[in-house]
């Protein structure tokens, strides 16, 4: 019965009614060695290339070729203020004002820069609270910041994990943990979407609890930006960081970004690592010895930005602007549901989906637990042309991305998974 609801015809009908179906045509889709189009469900790791990206990069190469140093001011998009073009579209994605956002560096670098300003251990308030399975790079950054302040991660890193037998963290457990750590907390650092489980955190009450406890709050939005709806300004986080190559489709190693809440915009007392691109624009080229930071997130810039790694983001953010994140998110919810229910119908009992089913508690990614022979199943799935990824020891991640995946894609992926898991 259930089986019959999830058919290729049903998927085709969903695609026919999808008002965003045309957006997939704005991306290059990868093919296998035989030239067959793959079913790409790996946007949580590297987003697809917007077709318009090449022209954006070529424009900068041409301006460099023809104008050389004059390109800083005379390029079609003058390099001197290139990053400013990214602020508004990024701000729209994270729910912030443009002055609260800056495109710069990469994620872990930005995390370090933000911790320089917002992790200020003093007196007994000298601990960092994180979720237990935080992304390794974040852990390394935090541990090294603790060590930099002469603190031992063993005693100064507080981790909160899911309850035994559960995969996702309960909001109330986070709130309780924050309350218990209370006056020891200098910083709470949380993901928007957990990279492994695909859980989307209910951030507003957690941020409120952390601020109530007197801690600074930072967010790692690697898997959330361009995926879920965010309201950073209203939620009152102190800072957030993200990368540009996952759901932002900015290309490998793309320019990342940062949010700094506007209550800190003109707080020049905050310690920060300085560089000339954070200096007041009007007097930057007076080349004086004294650092005068710009107000807002831009004041945390250090170096002049890599134009060639910023250019593809312009193309990608323009797709977001036209498609509209709210509509994308609505499709994303439907698409992931379709994948979930197709898997449940076609491969009953063969896989366990650990990502929450409730839309509010997840992004687009589904994490599947394949306890028996999982790696082999993943390899069979890859051989069948479905691109996901494998996280040892037992998690397969599949992310249907609303801008370039279709209902037929996810149905075909579920069919291939059912065959791979049953083999």
Positions that interact with ligand PLP (CB under 6 A)? 106-108, 135, 137-138, 191, 195, 220, 222-223, 243, 256
Nearest distance in Å: CB 345, ligand PLP = 31
Output the CA–CA distances (angstroms, integers) from residue 367 to 263, 296, 360, 399, in the order listed. Answer: 37, 37, 16, 8
Longest dimension (CA), the chain: 75
d(CA 415, CA 423): 12
Beta carbon nearer to ligand PLP, 184 or 246: 246
Shortest distance in whole angstroms from residue 181 CB to ligand PLP = 22
DSSP notation for 77-140 = S-GGGTTHHHHHHHHHHHT--GGGEEE-S-HHHHHHHHHHHH---BTTB-EEEEETT--HHHHH
Minimum distance from residue 243 beta carbon to ligand PLP (Å): 4
The residue among 25 and 136 lying less far from ligand PLP, judged by its C-beta, is 136
- Which token pair is 286? 């007076």
The DSSP secondary-structure symbol of 271 reads: -
Beta bridge partners of 399: 42
Residue closer to ligand PLP, measured from CB, 401 or 421? 401
Q: Specify burial of residue 171 (Cβ count, 10 A radius: 0-12, 13-18, 19+).
A: middle
d(CA 250, CA 243): 9
Helices 325-346, 307-323: axis angle to 10 degrees equals 80
Q: How far is the CB of 194 from ligand PLP (least distance, A)?
A: 8
Q: How far is the CB of 157 from ligand PLP (least distance, A)?
A: 16
Q: Kindly tell me which of 27 and 135 has the beta carbon lying closer to ligand PLP.
A: 135
DSSP category for residue 48: P
User: In this complex, which beta carbon is closest to ligand PLP, that of residue 38 or of residue 133?
Assistant: 133
Residue 193 C-beta: closest distance to ligand PLP, Å: 9
Between 106 and 355, CB nearer to ligand PLP: 106
Tell me the closest approach of the beta carbon of residue 83 to ligand PLP, in angstroms.
17
d(CA 301, CA 185): 27
Nearer to ligand PLP, 71 or 251 (CB): 251
Nearer to ligand PLP, 372 or 391 (CB): 391
The Cα 113–Cα 338 span in angstroms is: 40
Work out how close the CB of 182 gets to ligand PLP at its nearest, in angstroms, rounded to a whole number: 26
Residues 226, 325: contact at Cβ < 8 Å? yes
């Amino acid at each position: 019965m259930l089986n019959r609801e999830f058919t290729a015809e049903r998927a085709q009908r969903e695609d026919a009614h999808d008002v965003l179906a045309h957006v997939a045509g704005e991306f290059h889709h990868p093919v296998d060695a035989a030239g067959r189009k793959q079913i790409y469900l790996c946007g949580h790791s590297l987003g697809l290339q917007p077709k318009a990206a090449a022209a954006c990069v070529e424009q900068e190469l041409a301006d460099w070729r023809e104008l050389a140093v004059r390109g800083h001011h005379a390029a079609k998009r003058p390099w001197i203020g290139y990053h400013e073009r990214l602020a508004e579209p990024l701000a729209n994605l994270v729910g912030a004002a443009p002055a609260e956002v800056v495109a710069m560096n990469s994620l872990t670098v930005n995390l370090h820069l933000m911790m320089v300003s917002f992790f200020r251990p003093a007196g007994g308030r000298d601990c960092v609270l994180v979720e237990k399975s935080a992304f390794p790079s974040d852990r390394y950054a935090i541990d090294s910041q603790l060590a930099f302040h002469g603190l031992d991660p063993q005693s100064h890193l507080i981790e909160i994990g899911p309850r035994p037998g559960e995969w996702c963290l309960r909001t109330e457990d986070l709130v309780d943990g924050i309350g218990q750590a209370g006056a020891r907390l200098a910083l709470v650092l949380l993901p928007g979407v957990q990279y492994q489980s695909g859980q989307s955190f209910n951030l507003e009450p957690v941020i409120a609890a952390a601020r109530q406890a007197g801690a600074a709050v930072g967010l790692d939005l690697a898997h959330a930006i361009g995926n879920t709806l965010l309201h950073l300004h209203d939620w009152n986080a102190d800072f957030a960081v993200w990368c540009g190559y996952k759901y932002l489709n900015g290309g490998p190693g793309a320019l990342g970004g940062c949010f700094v809440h506007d209550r800190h915009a003109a707080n020049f007392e905050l310690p920060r690592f300085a560089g000339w691109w954070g200096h007041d624009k009007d007097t930057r080229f007076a080349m004086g010895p004294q650092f005068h930071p710009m107000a807002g997130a831009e004041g945390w810039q250090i170096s002049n930005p890599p134009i060639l790694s910023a250019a593809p983001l312009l193309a990608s953010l323009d797709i977001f602007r036209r498609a509209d994140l709210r509509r994308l998110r609505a499709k994303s919810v439907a698409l992931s549901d379709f994948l979930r229910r197709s898997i449940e119908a076609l491969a009953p009992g063969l896989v366990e989906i650990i990502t929450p089913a409730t839309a509010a508690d997840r992004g687009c990614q589904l994490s599947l637990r394949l306890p028996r022979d999982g790696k082999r199943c993943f390899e069979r799935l890859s051989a069948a042309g479905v691109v996901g990824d494998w996280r040892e020891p037992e998690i397969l991640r599949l992310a249907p991305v609303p801008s370039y995946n279709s209902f037929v894609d996810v149905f075909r992926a579920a069919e291939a998974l059912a065959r791979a898991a049953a083999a």
